[in-house]
Chains A and B, each alone.
Chain A
Amino acid sequence: AQSVTQPDIHITVSEGASLELRCNYSYGATPYLFWYVQSPGQGLQLLLKYFSGDTLVQGIKGFEAEFKRSQSSFNLRKPSVHWSDAAEYFCAVGARMGTNKLIFGTGTLLAVQP
């Protein structure tokens, strides 16, 4: 069955420190891959997406993610975290053919310490 795993439910980092959020997927073929961010009380905003080509993709707010086919992973990174990055982050996968449905992970809640 198709699934997305975000193994870290909650992460705390210090402001200015680097960040890596993990995402692993189980899918029959290489899917489309997405990272969304949700600030408290808000809807989801797209951070970045991978369709094809360069496996290192750049997104908004200084985030990047790397697709590793051999590890079925799409980890999100940021070199230096800002207090405003505190939010919940969701990884999602979508099929390359058929419906436009997405499968979401359970999310990682990021706290930023001053």
Chain B
Amino acid sequence: NAGVTQTPKFQVLKTGQSMTLQCAQDMNHNSMYWYRQDPGMGLRLIYYSASEGTTDKGEVPNGYNVSRLNKREFSLRLESAAPSQTSVYFCASSSPGLGLNEQFFGPGTRLTVL
């Protein structure tokens, strides 16, 4: 039982390049989330998926797109990376009735945009 996994762990991009961050969970959770973490700002929600087939914007969605590929996988795409998107990205999952809102986090992806 790996929990929540994220790939890659580290990535360096040039401004304007695109990339997709991958996230998968093996806990059969319904809900999945993407956060970014910046110094002094805590975790801010980018997008979330309450259940398979649905996605919704969070607090800071601009510049990002997401795909809930199936119940296990939730990817985050940067179409044209900008230096302001340099951050640590965390994926999380949760399931109603399983600890009510308790979220389980992946190890993170550290992204640098030059």
Out of B56, B96, B101, B106, which one reaches A102, CB within 8 Å?
B101
Considering only residues 25-41 of chain B, those with a C-beta below 8 Å from chain A are 31, 33, 35, 40-41
Q: How large, as a class, is the contact surface on chain B?
A: 20 to 34
Cα A11 to Cα B107 in complex, Å, equals 24
Of chain B, the residue at the smallest CB distance from A91 is B42
The answer to whether B48 and A43 touch across the interface, beta carbons within 8 angstroms, is no
Interface size on A, residues (CB 8 A): 23
Asked whether A106 and B107 contact (CB < 8 A) given A44-B90, A51-B100, the answer is: no
- Contact indicator per residue, chain A 18-36, by CB within 8 Å of chain B (1) or not (0): 0000000000000010101
Q: Which positions 53-90 of chain A face chain B at CB distance < 8 Å?
A: 90
Q: Does B43 contact A (CB under 8 A)?
A: yes
Query: Is B61 located at the chain interface by the 8 A CB criterion?
Result: no
Q: Within the assembled complex, what's the spacing in Å between the Cα atoms of A95 and B33?
A: 16
A102 touches B103 (CB 8 A): yes
Chain A residues within 8 Å of B94, by CB: 100
Q: Please measure, in the bound complex, the distance between the C-alpha atom of A69 and the C-alpha atom of B35, giving whole angstroms.
A: 28
A residues with a Cβ closer than 8 A to B are 9, 32, 34, 36, 41-46, 49, 51, 90, 94-95, 99-102, 104-107
In the assembled complex, 19 residue pairs joining A and B whose CB atoms fall closer than 8 Å, in A order, are A9-B40, A32-B100, A34-B101, A36-B105, A44-B92, A45-B105, A90-B42, A94-B100, A94-B101, A99-B48, A100-B31, A101-B45, A101-B48, A102-B45, A102-B101, A104-B43, A104-B44, A106-B41, A107-B42
